[in-house]
Amino acid sequence: MDMRSAIVVGATGLVGSHLVRLLCESEEYVSVTALTRRELGYHHKKLVERIVNFDELAETDLDFAHEIYCCLGTTIKKAGTRENFEKVDLEYPLHIASLAKKIGVRHFIVISAMGANEKALAYYSRVKGKLEKELIEMDFPQLSIIRPSLLVGERKEFRFGEKTGELVLKVLNPLLIGPLKGIRSIEASQVALAMKVIALNEKQKKVAIYESSQLAAMKIPVIERDAEMDREKMFDWTKLKEDDHTPVDKEVVFDRTKLKEIKREEE
């Protein structure tokens, strides 16, 4: 089994925090580096926590990794201005991707959003669409774009709008079927699991976009090991010892007439 290393950016966020724990507890990874602006409050022998200023992030702040998981994201309300929002959701991910490519990281996995489109009417969707477009133009060996719907889970800070949407969709989710299934809310822990599955088990594609319904359906694949012959199960040796041996019928086991015929041929 190949031993892997990963970098998680935005490790204190809703998805990022789940992802860090998931990767640290995974046998496939021997090293997980978290680039974050504040302490995680989580410790693991595989985890390297690196407190950074994203405005001053340099190539030396990144070590080689098999994958970079970019989980950065905020809201316009929390950012305060569109300029600050774009810094977190657009400029930082693009800068990190640029540095990652320079140090030879082959797979960049980034959280975007459902409905991302640079020509969308909604400002949020336009920013996410622009992020996707510019990442694709970077020509990574492998780029995976994650488009979840409304993320649900326990947040450290209260977001009124998202909490309201979460409660509404919790009621509506069972009714959203067929084409509407893609707008169901999705657990942040499931998105984190899906990102790991994409990194380790999905067929490699230069650019792959995963919609929310696809993310919701992903599971860790069960790998069937080669069937091993269990001699003890195939043959009960204790039973053989307990049973009386069947008497050997020499006339049946050894055909004496056949032996006589062979001797005549030799003479």
Instruction: For 186-196, write each residue's pLDDT tens digit.
Output: 999 999 999 99
Cα 101–chain centre separation: 20
Kindly state the tokens that stand for 151. Answer: 């993320």
Provide the residue range defining the domain that includes 242. Answer: 231-266
Residue 170 main-chain phi, psi, to 5 deg: -60, -35
At residue 199, what is the residue type? A
Per-residue pLDDT band at 226 (split at 50, 70, 90): very low
Q: 67, 49, 163: which is closest to 110 by C-alpha?
A: 67
Q: If you average pLDDT over residues 237-246, what whole number do you get?
A: 49
Same domain membership, residue 131 and residue 13: yes
Give the pLDDT confidence of 154-166 residue by residue, as tens digits.
655 545 454 554 4
Model confidence, pTM: 0.75
Number of separate domains in the chain: 2
Same domain membership, residue 142 and residue 12: yes
CB 83 within 8 A of CB 123: no
Count of CB atoms within 10 A of residue 142's CB?
18
Bridge partners, residue 188, by sequence: none
Same domain membership, residue 246 and residue 172: no
Tell whether 170 is covered by a domain.
yes
Same domain membership, residue 137 and residue 108: yes
Q: If you average pLDDT over residues 118-146, what whole number do you get?
A: 97
Tell whether 225 is covered by a domain.
no
